[in-house]
């Protein structure tokens, strides 16, 4: 090799090597960022799913109470949509939320019973306890997502 070709070849090889190292570093950084964005997207979906589920559950519990208070129609069929939502809560939620939801369902079942009395329980207190535990769970999920941030 001549001196001129060596003078051209060394900078070209150095440039190609630097470009290769930079592209590998960019790939690794981009991959890590996409992975983090994907995880945050999953957490966001979990939060939205639970928020919708809890809102439906509360609305159905209130509808059941108003149905009994307004029309006075007592039937176990009134409770079936509430129990379907409770089944979903049982699959997704923490034990604390499940226990509070079960209490709301128990009150709805006893209110729709043939021999129910007004002393069976306080719907508002049970619903408030459910809301408090659901909010705590949602905050814990959000906090977990924040702590996992890079």
Under-50 pLDDT residues of the chain: none
pLDDT at 114: 62
pLDDT at 82: 94
- What is the count of structural domains for the chain? 1
pLDDT at 150: 57
pLDDT at 142: 85
Catalogue the long-range contacts made by 37-46 (C-beta closer than 8 Å, 24 or more residues apart): 39/145, 39/148, 40/145, 40/149, 43/141, 43/142, 43/144, 43/145, 44/145, 46/141
Domain that holds residue 90: 3-147
d(CA 104, CA 100): 6
d(CA 72, CA 82): 18
**Under DSSP, is residue 92 helix (H, G, I), strand (E, B) or coil?**
helix
Short-list 98, 95, 94, CA closest to 138? 94
pLDDT tens-digit profile of 55-92?
999 999 999 888 887 777 787 888 999 999 999 999 99
């Amino acid at each position: 090799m001549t001196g001129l070709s060596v003078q051209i070849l060394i900078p070209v090889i150095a440039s190609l090597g630097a470009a290769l190292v930079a592209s590998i570093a960019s790939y690794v950084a981009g991959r890590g960022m996409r992975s983090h964005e994907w995880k945050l997207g999953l957490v966001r979906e979990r939060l939205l799913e639970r928020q919708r589920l809890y809102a439906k559950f509360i609305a159905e519990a209130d509808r059941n109470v108003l149905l009994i208070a307004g029309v006075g129609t007592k039937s176990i069929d009134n409770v079936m949509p509430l129990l379907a939502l409770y089944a979903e809560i049982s699959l997704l939620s923490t034990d604390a939320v499940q226990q509070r939801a079960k209490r709301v369902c128990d009150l709805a079942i006893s209110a729709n019973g043939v021999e129910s009395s007004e002393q069976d329980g306080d719907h508002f207190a049970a619903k408030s306890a459910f809301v408090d535990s659901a909010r705590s769970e949602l905050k814990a999920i959000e906090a977990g997502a924040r702590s996992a941030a890079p």
